[in-house]
Amino acid sequence: AQKITQTQPGMFVQEKEAVTLDCTYDTSDPSYGLFWYKQPSSGEMIFLIYQGSYDQQNATEGRYSLNFQKARKSANLVISASQLGDSAMYFCAMREYNQGGKLIFGQGTELSVKP
C-alpha cells in the first residue's frame, strides 16, 4: 500500500497567488515526522519544512506552511505569494520513528508558476 500519496502530478499557479500541494499518508506508528522537499530543474533536493506527529501547531517557514490534519492523515504544503522561482518538483516524505532514519517519498507534484 502506498504510504505517501501526492495526487497532483502537475499544478499551475499565477505569480503572487497562494497554492496548496496535497499530501496524504498512511502509518500505524504514532510517532512520525512529515517533510517537504523542493527539487528545481537543477536536480538538488532542498528541505523546506518539517511537522512532527505530536506537534500541536502547524509548521511554518517563511512563505511555506504545512496544513497538518492528523485525523485525516494529510500534510498539505501551502506556498503563499508564489514566485517564479517556486517552479519545481515538490516531494512529501514521511519518517516513521520505529523504522529509523529512512524517509518514504511520495510521487511528487510539479508546480509551474505563471508570470
Partner 1 sequence: DVKVTQSSRYLVKRTGEKVFLECVQDMDHENMFWYRQDPGLGLRLIYFSYDVKMKEKGDIPEGYSVSREKKERFSLILESASTNQTSMYLCASSSTGVPSTEQYFGPGTRLTVT
Write out the residues near partner 1 by the rule CB under 8 A.
4, 6, 9, 31, 33, 35, 37, 42-45, 47, 50, 52, 91, 93, 95, 97, 100-108
The CA distance from 60 to 4, in Å, is 21
The C-alpha angle 77, 104, 41, rounded to 5 degrees, equals 60
Indicate the residue among 15 and 61 with the shorter CB distance to partner 1.
61
What single-letter DSSP state applies at residue 15?
Answer: T
| Three cell numbers written together for 79 | 506556498
Indicate the residue among 52 and 63 with the shorter CB distance to partner 1.
52
Indicate the residue among 86 and 106 with the shorter CB distance to partner 1.
106
Smallest separation, CB 52 to partner 1 (Å):
6
Where do we find the cell 518538483?
A: 89
